[in-house]
Amino acid sequence: MRSILRTDPLVRDVAALCAAAMVVGLSFGAIASAAGVPLSKIIAMNALVYAGGAQFLAVGLIGAGATAAAIVLAGLLLNARHLPFGLAIGNEVLGRRRILGSHLMTDESVAFALAQDDPARRRRAYWLTGISLYLTWNFSAAVGAIAGSALGDPDVFGIDAAFPAALLALTLPSLKERAAVRVAVAGAALALAATPFLPAGLPVLVALLALPLARKK
């Protein structure tokens, strides 16, 4: 295994990516379990939804008592970036396995594929990254959920603060430009202002009104 990691940079990079994804998956499983989501539903969500950040968002909205419609709409909006992703890789990468390939689509699998020079390497990078991350996420999130359920009352350990902390950790790497910071600050302000007046889950959608601030001045 070590020889493969040394001779194939792609395998090495995917292995490092999976190590990081395992930590996030463990966190998600523990947070979802602490929020009261049953283990069976966590496993089903991991296998069938497989949406990373959207799953964190869904668990937070579930804990806040949001409606199913608000949760679904928020998840769809968060993952709307997959539409241009699909156009970017197209038939060249997915081929006839379009349905399965779409389910395995993540920011990382698309980025690794587009970083390659020729179509064959793009396909290999996409499928290697997609399958590896899918298996890692499902395994680690299940382990995290089992561990989280063993903790008992989450309030005793302060796990109720874990969701916003995890979501903040996922967001911070994206705040490298002034436009992103403007949108994040304005969106947070709008959501906070709307919270006393709207049902749980809807203030997050109100934050989308800050998106026009992403335009460069």
What integer is the mean pLDDT of 86-104? Answer: 82
pLDDT of residue 131: 95
Distance of CA 140 to the CA centre of its chain: 14
Q: How far is 137 from 104, CA to CA, in rounded Å? A: 11
The per-residue pLDDT for 96 is: 79
Average pLDDT over residues 76-95: 79
Q: Which amino acid appears at position 197 of this protein?
A: F
177: left (phi over 0), alpha (psi -120 to 50) or beta: beta
Q: Which of 10-19, 66-75, 121-130, 131-140 has the lowest mean pLDDT?
A: 66-75
Looking at residue 213, its pLDDT comes to 75
> Is the pLDDT assigned to residue 168 strictly greater than 70?
no
Please say if the pLDDT value at position 23 is more than 70: yes
- Cα separation of 3 and 13, whole Å? 14
Q: What is the mean pLDDT of residues 136-145?
A: 94
Within a 10 A sphere around the Cβ of 32, how many other Cβ atoms? 29
Asked if the model's pLDDT at residue 160 lies above 60, the reply is: no
- Is the alpha carbon torsion for 26, 33, 161, 133 positive or negative? positive
